């Protein structure tokens, strides 16, 4: 699925959206997309919620960010960790980073492979693997990546009204971050 009409590329500092200028979101783009030399940090500047997919790697300095990696960048089940980063870590900015070609899209089509993989690799009995899949599939299905990120950002903005939450997409083919309109 092509998301290109909803993506805003960041190829130079002038491409940073005005609402994110002079924020850790701008720094995230400068480090990751624009190759800015790393600065040393004593504490995290933002929280990044992103997919657990192994094809993604952020180019950011040590201590710059808390990172929560979950299937599909779905933070619905990481609410306490988010609250901790805000309340104790002093976080005021969150970047939700989805990515193209996400495995959490169309999970039901992966049912047989998922179940047989649990039986073969984890040693579950067939009925246990089926029950496990059926119990969780609807909780972790994200629909499409862009729409899910936008819905997650909306949810978090309502949950934490003083926190700036940015919707981003990582394209696996080029390893770059994009704003989502």
DSSP strand E in 21-111: where? 46-51, 65-70, 93-99
Every domain of the chain and the residues it spans: 4-105+142-180, 106-140
Tokens 């009925």 belong to which residue? 127
- How high is the pLDDT of residue 5? 85
Q: What is the pLDDT of residues 137-179, one digit of tens each?
A: 999 999 899 999 999 999 999 999 999 999 999 999 999 999 9
Residue with tokens 């970047």: 95
Domain 4-105+142-180 has CATH 3.40.1050.10: yes
Give the tens place of pLDDT for each residue, 61-117: 999 999 999 999 999 999 999 999 999 999 999 999 999 999 999 999 999 999 999
């Amino acid at each position: 699925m092509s998301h290109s009409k909803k993506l805003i590329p960041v190829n130079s500092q002038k491409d940073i959206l005005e609402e994110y200028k002079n924020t850790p979101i701008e720094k995230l783009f400068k480090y990751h997309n624009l190759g800015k030399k790393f600065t040393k940090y004593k504490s995290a500047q933002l929280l990044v919620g992103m997919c657990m997919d192994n094809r993604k790697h952020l180019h950011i300095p040590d201590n710059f960010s808390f990172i929560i990696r979950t299937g599909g960048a779905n933070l619905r089940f990481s609410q306490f960790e988010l609250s901790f980063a805000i309340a104790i870590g002093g976080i005021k900015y969150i970047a939700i980073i989805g990515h193209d070609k996400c495995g959490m899209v169309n999970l039901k089509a992966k049912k047989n492979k998922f179940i047989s993989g649990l039986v073969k690799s984890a040693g579950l009995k067939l009925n246990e693997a089926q029950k496990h899949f059926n119990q969780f599939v609807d909780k972790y299905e994200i629909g499409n990546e862009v729409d899910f990120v936008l819905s997650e950002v909306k949810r978090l903005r309502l949950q934490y009204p003083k926190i700036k939450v940015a919707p981003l997409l990582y394209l696996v083919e080029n390893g770059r971050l994009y704003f989502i309109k």
